Structure 1
Amino acid sequence: MGQDTQGTRVRLEVAVQDWAGARLAREAGADRIELCAALGATGGLTPSQGLIRLTSQVELPLGVQVLIRGRGGNFVYSEDEQEVQVLDARLAIRAGASGVVVGALERGGQIDRDFAQRMADVAQQESERQGRHIDLTFHRAFDAARDREAALETLIGLGYDRVLTSGGAPTVGEGLEALRQLAAQTHGRIQIMAGGGLKPEGIGQAVAAGVDAVHLSARKVLSSSGGPGGGGEASQIEVTDADIVRAAAAARDAALAEGR
């Protein structure tokens, strides 16, 4: 498991899509960010190399985790798609990422163990090459796994640091019991990070379920007409809302204080 040890504090991770969002998240109380692109439209895709390089300069306690995902849709990937993701992961780390967020399934709903192993190998090789620990997070492909208990044991065996999950439900609020069971299953061997439709007002319940981290996008949508060729008159852009991040940090701190 990674250097972010369990049991000390529930971490707050915020998904952001630009450099400004990373700075806002840091200033508003985030411990860590997940960097991605096209969050609202696809659930998140791999961001550009330039964005990774710039954002990795933002000083956060636990750094920048880069989402590695080439397309939206299901998590069953062709050999070509997997090759691209493996290379994207390596390049993201070399561009300064503190870790990568990855995941794939087989058609039967099991964790794609071969792909998960390849990503673990990349993280280990780059850790040794750079002399620093590279975090490895399995994303919400986990929630589509047929047997999440078995999937968790697979990821523990491969040395993953954490799993982002809603407990298999559409949202964290609906998956609290499953999250509680997953947290109990880990025995400190891997971190459970609650994410999926999570809002500041639901963070207290997530913390009470025993998770190690909470994850939310903290985004708001602004109108921005692209004109011809730019998305049309109804175009929108997504930005990080610092007020939501502050509310999330306050809710996390309040929940921890109540649990003492």
Structure 2
Amino acid sequence: MTIEIAVQDVDGARIALEEGADRVELCMALGATGGLTPSFGLIQSCAHVGLPQGVQALIRSRAGSFVFDEGEKHVQAVDVRFAILAGASGVVVGGLASDGGIDLDFARRLAEAAREEGERCNRRVQLTFHRAFDMVPDQFAALDALIDLGYDRVLTSGGAPNAGEGAWRLRELVGHAAGRIQIQAGGGVTLDNIGDVRATGVDAVHLSAKRLVASAGGPGGGGDTPIERTDRDFVRAAVAAMR
């Protein structure tokens, strides 16, 4: 059972490594936006931490709707290439069409960009379709489409508000996938429901394990807005529960 921790800084990646996680999903502004594309320097620095399965970089140019215009799609395709160049082991991507289904042309474009850059860097990169998957009306058809496009895994709560409530659908998705693509449970995974999520047979569990740290602010410092940090105790407990 693979454990992925969503982190936003190098310290978070180090905590994930030291407490026994397998890989991290790296993003920025997680609490405020659900996660945005991290910088080249942040990806490179976290890649050097040395996690067993490396860094999965979230590629998402803005918060809000998963329906992107052509300019936003171009930016994300470029960001895929730069994330891999910076050292990411994989990218976490996705987008929806106006009818609510997966934007297959965009998903294909992102996959091609990732594979081409991976070949230039002489390594195979992993492709994860993010939780836009939870918005599609027919998850089984969407899963088949992503398998055809060669995606490695899907991050999903089973379409529910959190993975605990979506456990029944996660179990169905695992059965439908039949080993053709990994099902990674994510979204609202806590120490209280992690056992139920694990019991669905998913290939991996994803959790943020974050806590808020007070910020002194100061001139130009954004006031007293708290900072999100990875909670070492949470990660340790989650890894123990999964193992």
- TM-score with structure 2 setting the length: 0.98
Q: Within the alignment, does 1:116 sit opposite 2:100 as a pair?
A: no
Q: 2:180 aligns with which of 180, 184, 189?
A: 189
2:209 to 211, 218, 225: 218
* Structure 1, unpaired ranges of 5+: 1-9, 254-260
Alignment of 1:166-205 (within 5 A): 166-205=157-196
Contact 1:201 1:251 in 2 (8 A): no
Give how far 1:200 is off. Answer: 2.4
1:27 aligns with 2:18: yes
Tell me if 1:231 matches 2:241.
no
Q: CA deviation at 1:123?
A: 1.9
Aligned to 1:67: 58
Aligned residue identity for 1:105: L
Q: Which moved more, 1:104-113 or 1:202-211?
A: 202-211
Taking the aligned partners of 1:157 and 1:86, their CA distance within structure 2 comes to 20
Q: Distance in 2 between matches of 1:96 and 1:229?
A: 32
d(CA) in 1 for partners of 2:185 and 2:141? 18
Q: Which residue of 2 aligns with 1:99?
A: 90
3-state DSSP of counterpart to 1:15: strand
Gaps in structure 2 of 5+ consecutive residues: none
TM-score (norm 1): 0.91
Q: Which amino acid aligns with 1:154?
A: A
| CA-to-aligned-CA distance 1:13-68 (integer Å, 9 cap, x gap) | 00000001100111011101000000000000001111011111011111100000
Describe the SS at the equivalent of 1:132. Answer: coil
Q: Contact 1:108–1:146 (CA<8 Å) still a contact in 2?
A: no
**Pairing 1:57–2:48 present:** yes
Q: Percent identity?
A: 61
Confirm whether residue 144 of structure 1 aligns to residue 135 of structure 2: yes
Amino acid at match of 1:244: F
Give the letter for the 1:243 counterpart.
D
Deviation at 1:228, TM superposition (A): 4.6
Q: What is the alpha-carbon distance in structure 1 between the residues aligned to residue 176 and residue 25 of structure 2?
A: 25
Report the counterpart of residue 40 of structure 1 in structure 2. Answer: 31
Q: Which residue of the other structure, out of 127, 150, 156, is the alignment partner of 1:159?
A: 150
Q: Deviations over 1:98-142 (max 9, x none)?
A: 000001001111100000001110122123222211000000000
The residue that corresponds to 1:252 in the other structure is 242
**Count of paired positions:** 243
**Offset, 1:186:** 0.5
CA distance in 2, matches of 1:74, 1:154: 21
SS in 1 for 2:195: helix
Asked whether the 8 Å contact 1:172–1:206 carries over to 2, the reply is yes
Contact persistence 2:170–2:185 (CA under 8 A): yes
Partner Cα separation in structure 1 for residue 3 and residue 125 of structure 2: 18
Q: 4+ residue runs of structure 1 moved beyond 6 angstroms?
A: none
SS at 2:117 equivalent: helix
Q: Partners of 1:214 and 1:35 in 2: how far apart?
A: 15
* Cα displacement (A) at 1:199: 1.1
The answer to whether the 8 A contact 1:167-1:179 is kept is: yes
CA distance in 2, matches of 1:65, 1:174: 25
Matches for 1:2-13 after TM superposition, within 5 Å: 10-13=1-4
